């Protein structure tokens, strides 16, 4: 047991203490997420202290049963750490239940092994050993970590984050730290590795939430402004807003209005099928920015309006939306001109449909667009 290892442990514990303080004072996370992070930090600290305690007992004590107890605590706690974090990223009780069952099975096996010695053992000289079935513990550890990885990656995709590959690298980083210790047991870097990985996960998740709209889970206005000021290649800009949304709120209440925005956000997401980044740019305004020139943008919008009609069958009070698009070519026009062109198309669509509605005519998006394209607005009279 070296002073270097003790120093690394001290840094790890102090870092975890600071992370608890930071999480507790976070103004973005609700308490339901804060305490999950805090519990995971405490569990990491317990595991790290138990590992250090086991090393200390092996070097400076002859009390075998205490060494076994401390090691049992570590091997029970370590695989359960991912289970403590998962509810931050998913409310799926099935995932939590599966991970809970795996953690309980690991706990039972480790406790049994403390008496029977088939996963680990401590000999009469108070020396710790991996036994024949130690791989069962490793399976539990990797199973829990894999479920955490998949859950986090699914969540960041929902929030349209492009950092899935970073999450995968964090997982690889954790595995690398553990592998080093398996290859050479004198290298004790597993818990500082876990601490760094969880810290990066916390920072990454906070960044995702800061760029997301809490109601619709789309990217927010801040993310839109950042993206739009850094456009330097060809993009297709699709603008849309909800018709008569204020009247919808005034008539049916703001809770219904919130549900309308959530439903419309979901439909937009499904209709564009990850073809672009989707933003809520205002109260009832949305924008999709797609890389490159989309030749079939009208077909995408036709699908969007068709999906709105399908949703209206289950939600008759769901309002209509108006849409418009333009393609921005750097060097040929300003980005502001492209945005205004998309707005102009959207408002022409909105005005024509309102006119048709007042005349008792209900046409599809394709039919209205044909009229707009032919510039024969007055032919519908």
Last residue of a domain, one of 153, 186, 210: 210
pLDDT digits (tens, 9 = 90+) for 261-311: 999 999 999 999 888 999 999 999 999 999 998 878 889 999 999 999 999
Q: Is the pLDDT of residue 170 over 90?
A: no
Residues 196 and 252 reside in one and the same domain: no
N- to C-terminal Cα distance for the chain?
Answer: 90
Angle of helix 335-358 relative to helix 365-374, nearest 10 degrees, comes to 110
% of the chain exceeding 70 in pLDDT: 96
Task: Quote the distance between the C-alpha of residue 19 and its chain's center.
Answer: 20
Question: What does the pLDDT average to over 306-326?
Answer: 93
Integer Cα distance of 321 and 241 in angstroms:
6
- Contact of 321 with 242, CB cutoff 8 Å: yes
Residues 68 and 201 reside in one and the same domain: yes
Last residue of a domain, one of 187, 210, 233: 210
Between CA 106 and CA 115, with CA 147 as vertex, the angle to 5 degrees is 5
Helices (H), the chain: 3-24, 31-60, 64-77, 81-89, 93-116, 134-158, 164-183, 190-210, 221-228, 245-252, 254-272, 297-314, 335-358, 365-374
Integer Cα distance of 353 and 96 in angstroms:
48
Residues 226 and 196 reside in one and the same domain: no
For residue 304, give the nearest of 354, 249, 346, 355 by alpha carbon.
Answer: 346
Work out the mean pLDDT of the chain and round it to a whole number.
Answer: 89
Residues 239 and 150 reside in one and the same domain: no
Residues 278 and 334 reside in one and the same domain: yes
Question: What are the backbone angles phi and psi of residue 29, rounded to the nearest 5°?
Answer: -75, 140
CB-based burial label for 131 (10 Å; 0-12, 13-18, 19+): middle
pLDDT digits (tens, 9 = 90+) for 185-222: 667 788 888 898 888 888 888 888 889 998 999 999 99
Residues 38 and 144 reside in one and the same domain: yes
Integer Cα distance of 28 and 20 in angstroms:
15
Count of the separate structural domains present in the chain: 2
Report pLDDT for 12: 93
Residues 17 and 134 reside in one and the same domain: yes
**Is 215 within the bounds of a domain?**
no
DSSP 363: -
If one compares 244 and 373, the residue with the highest pLDDT of the two is: 244
- 3-state DSSP call for residue 238? strand
Last residue of a domain, one of 210, 244, 266: 210
pLDDT digits (tens, 9 = 90+) for 63-78: 999 999 999 999 999 9
Band of residue 225 on the pLDDT scale cut at 50, 70, 90: very high
Report pLDDT for 363: 79
Residues 95 and 118 reside in one and the same domain: yes
**Is 216 within the bounds of a domain?**
no
**Is 274 within the bounds of a domain?**
yes
Residues 225 and 205 reside in one and the same domain: no
We report the CATH number of the domain holding residue 339 as 3.30.70.270
Residues 265 and 195 reside in one and the same domain: no
**Is 339 within the bounds of a domain?**
yes
Q: Is the pLDDT of residue 174 over 70?
A: yes
Angle of helix 190-210 relative to helix 3-24, nearest 10 degrees, comes to 20
Task: Quote the distance between the C-alpha of residue 125 and its chain's center.
Answer: 48
Residues 132 and 63 reside in one and the same domain: yes
**Is 273 within the bounds of a domain?**
yes
**Is 145 within the bounds of a domain?**
yes
Among the ranges given (58-67, 220-229, 371-380), the one the predictor scored with the smallest mean pLDDT: 371-380
Domain around 156: 3-210
Which residue is associated with the tokens 């992070």?
37
Question: What does the pLDDT average to over 143-147?
Answer: 90
Residues 264 and 331 reside in one and the same domain: yes
**Is 91 within the bounds of a domain?**
yes
Write the CB contacts of 20 (distance below 8 Å, at least 6 apart in sequence): 38, 41, 42
Integer Cα distance of 20 and 296 in angstroms:
50
- Contact of 318 with 260, CB cutoff 8 Å: yes
């Amino acid at each position: 047991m070296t002073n270097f290892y003790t120093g690394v442990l001290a840094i790890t514990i102090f870092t975890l203490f600071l992370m608890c303080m930071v999480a507790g004072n976070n103004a973005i996370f609700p308490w339901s997420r804060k305490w999950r992070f805090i519990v995971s930090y405490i569990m990491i600290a317990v595991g790290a202290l138990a590992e250090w305690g086991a090393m200390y007992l092996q070097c400076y004590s002859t009390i075998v049963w205490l060494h076994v107890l401390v090691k049992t605590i570590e091997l029970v706690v370590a695989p359960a750490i991912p289970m403590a974090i998962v509810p931050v990223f998913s409310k799926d009780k099935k995932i939590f239940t599966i991970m809970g069952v795996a953690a309980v099975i690991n706990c039972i096996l480790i406790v049994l092994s403390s008496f029977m010695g088939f996963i680990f053992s401590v000999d009469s000289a108070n020396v710790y050993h991996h036994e024949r079935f130690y791989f069962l513990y490793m399976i539990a550890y990797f199973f829990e970590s894999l479920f955490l990885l998949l859950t986090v990656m699914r969540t960041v995709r929902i929030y349209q984050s492009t950092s899935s590959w970073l999450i995968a690298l964090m997982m690889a980083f954790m595995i690398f730290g553990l592998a080093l210790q398996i290859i050479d047991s004198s290298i004790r870097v597993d818990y500082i590795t876990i601490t760094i990985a969880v810290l990066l996960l916390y920072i990454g998740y906070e960044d995702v939430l800061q760029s997301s709209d809490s109601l619709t889970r789309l990217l927010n206005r801040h993310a839109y402004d950042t993206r739009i000021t850094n456009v330097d290649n060809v993009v297709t800009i699709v603008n849309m807003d909800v018709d008569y949304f204020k009247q919808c709120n005034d008539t049916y209440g703001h809770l219904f209005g919130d549900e309308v925005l959530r439903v419309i956000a979901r439909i937009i997401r499904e209709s564009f099928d990850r073809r672009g980044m989707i933003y809520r740019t205002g109260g009832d305004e949305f924008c999709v920015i797609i890389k490159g020139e989309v030749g079939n943008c009208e077909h995408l919008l036709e699908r969007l309006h068709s999906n709105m009609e399908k949703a209206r069958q289950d939600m008759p009070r769901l309002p209509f939306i108006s849409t418009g698009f333009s393609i921005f070519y750097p060097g040929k026009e300003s980005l502001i001109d492209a945005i205004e062109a998309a707005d102009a198309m959207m408002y022409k669509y909105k005005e024509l449909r309102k006119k048709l509605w007042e005349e008792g005519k209900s046409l599809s998006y394709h039919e209205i667009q044909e009229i707009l394209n032919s510039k024969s607005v007055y032919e519908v009279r």
